[in-house]
Structure 1
Amino acid sequence: MKSRWVIFSVIAVIGLVADQITKLYIDRSMQVFQSIPVVDGLFNITYVRNRGAAFSFLSHASWRLPFFIAISVIAAVVIVVAFNRLRNDQQLAQVSLAMIFSGAVGNLIDRVRQGEVIDFLDVYWRTHHWPAFNVADSLICVGVALLALDMLREEQRQKR
């Protein structure tokens, strides 16, 4: 049981440190809206600040900050409770929840410290840009995909 929490903690801390270090580096080395091409026609490092959620959702709402902070705290608590209920053999779900937790806390730190989130990964094709994102967002997305995969595998195991 303890080893599960060690794995959770290690993944969460590594993800959180990677997220915060990359955001700190971008904030200290670039100007807002500055863009550095990495793969021409596909990927830039572009420094932006997002006051909202995905796709700048609710970025102009006056109540957005307390709302996003509350949602992040609730999500973190729900993730810890869900993690605690996992069986020892559900390693993929354990890893995925640790990743999602790490991403949620990473963006929560930004919101509490600065009132907004630093984004900088800019993926695009010609003139079509995906909204900029960060390491925390990547951890959440990959964690959710792994959790979905684990749920499909769990469903198949139960059918046998």
Structure 2
Amino acid sequence: MRKWLVVAALVIVIDQITKLLVQSHFQFGELYAIIPGCFSLTLTYNPGAAFSFLADAGGWQRYFFTALALGVSAFIVFTLRKHHQQTRFSFALALIMGGALGNVIDRLAYHHVIDFILVYWKNWYYPAFNVADSAICIGAALLVIDSIARPQHTREKTL
């Protein structure tokens, strides 16, 4: 199980380093085009959840999402103990836990999550996100792939 905790820790470290780098080199809202017309770096703050869900809720959401992420992380550790030998499943959970805890650090330290990756095309913009968000999405996608690819008899044992 230790290797999955290391994966989660690496996600947290990479997430926090990238956020510190962006914070130290960008002003809020500043935009730097990496691939003009589709990919930029920017510094934004998100007090809510994904896609700024509940961003204007008055502050209680910070505690709610922190508690939720900590609870999910505890559940993931419990699940990893039982299923650490299932590589894809455990890797997915480790990514989700690392991403969730990376954003918890932001919520506790700054009262918002730092986002900086901006993907867009012409007038369409995907909401800014960060490494932690990416890890959560990749982990979720891997869970779906794992549930489809795993034989039926092992799916029932996972839950």
TM-score, normalisation: structure 2? 0.92
Q: Could you tell me how far apart the structure 1 residues matched to 2:48 and 2:22 are?
A: 19
Q: Could you tell me how far apart the structure 2 residues matched to 1:19 and 1:78 are?
A: 22
User: For structure 1, which runs of at least 5 residues remain unmatched after alignment?
Assistant: none
The one-letter amino acid of 1:74's match is G
Q: 1:6 and 1:158, CA in 2 relative to 1: closer, same or farther beyond 3 A?
A: closer
Q: Could you tell me how far apart the structure 2 residues matched to 1:95 and 1:158 are?
A: 17
Q: How does 1:142-157 map to 2 (within 5 A)?
A: 142-155=138-151
- 1:94 matched to 2:90: yes
Q: How does 1:53-64 map to 2 (within 5 A)?
A: 53-62=49-58, 63-64=60-61
Tell me how far 1:13 sits from its aligned partner: 1.6
The one-letter amino acid of 2:106's match is D
Determine the structure 2 residue equivalent to 1:138.
134
The one-letter amino acid of 1:36's match is Y
Tell me how far 1:112 sits from its aligned partner: 0.5
Q: Could you tell me how far apart the structure 1 residues matched to 2:99 and 2:91 are?
A: 12
- 1:119 matched to 2:115: yes
Q: Could you tell me how far apart the structure 1 residues matched to 2:93 and 2:87 are?
A: 10
Tell me how far 1:157 sits from its aligned partner: 6.3
Number of aligned residue pairs: 154
Please identify, of 55-64 and 17-26, the stretch whose mean Cα deviation from structure 2 is larger.
Answer: 55-64
What's the % identity of the aligned pairs? 40
Determine the structure 2 residue equivalent to 1:107.
103
Pick one of 67, 70, 83 that aligns with 2:67: 70
CA RMSD of aligned residues (A): 1.5
**8 Å CA contact retained: 2:84, 2:90:** no
TM-score, normalisation: structure 1? 0.91
- Give the 3-state SS of the residue equivalent to 2:97 in structure 1: helix
The one-letter amino acid of 2:73's match is A
Q: Could you tell me how far apart the structure 2 residues matched to 1:82 and 1:113 are?
A: 28
Determine the structure 2 residue equivalent to 1:20.
16
Q: Could you tell me how far apart the structure 2 residues matched to 1:78 and 1:115 are?
A: 24
Q: 1:48 and 1:85, CA in 2 relative to 1: closer, same or farther beyond 3 A?
A: same
User: For structure 2, which runs of at least 5 residues remain unmatched after alignment?
Assistant: none
Stretches of 4+ moved more than 6 A in 1?
A: none
- 1:81 matched to 2:81: no
Q: Could you tell me how far apart the structure 2 residues matched to 1:100 and 1:113 are?
A: 20
Tell me how far 1:69 sits from its aligned partner: 1.1
Tell me how far 1:110 sits from its aligned partner: 0.2
Tell me how far 1:156 sits from its aligned partner: 5.1
